[in-house]
Amino acid sequence: MEGVVSARLVPFRDLDKCVKGESVRLTGIWKKYDQDTQMAVMRYDTYEAEVDTALLSTLPAIGDIVQCIGEVIDEATFGMLRIQARIVRIVNTIELDLYERVVRLRNASTG
């Protein structure tokens, strides 16, 4: 489908290269959730991102492997990139190391 805007697949290692307003697709482990602030933390390896879940109707369980599609909204208080989630889906059967290699190869071939 040409002309359709899609979220860019982003390995956690490359989060620091993302800019405010950019649409991203991020895959990692759902580590924690604060019901009062509606903020969650996703993690992969030693990298973390804050996820604003205010637009979501259902949430994954802590420990689930998830893919989050949303927009970069800004730097969080503790230096983590903050994402406004539009969609979060559970992908527990994915092999994260293999997925990261595929994303790197795909991004290298598409520029």
pTM of the model: 0.81
Instruction: Please check the confidence at residue 85 and state whether its pLDDT lies above 70.
Output: yes
Nearest to 65 by CA among 23, 35, 40, 96: 96
| Distance (Å, whole) CA 4 – CA 59 | 27
| Cα 4 to the center of its chain, rounded Å | 20
Supply the mean pLDDT for the chain: 85
| CATH code, 40 | 2.40.50.140
**Residue range of the domain that includes 54:** 8-110
Number of domains comprising the chain: 1
Identify which of 16-25, 45-54, 75-84, 99-108 has the greatest average pLDDT: 45-54
In a domain, 29, yes or no: yes
Give the pair of three-digit tokens for residue 106. Answer: 């795909």
| Distance (Å, whole) CA 27 – CA 40 | 14
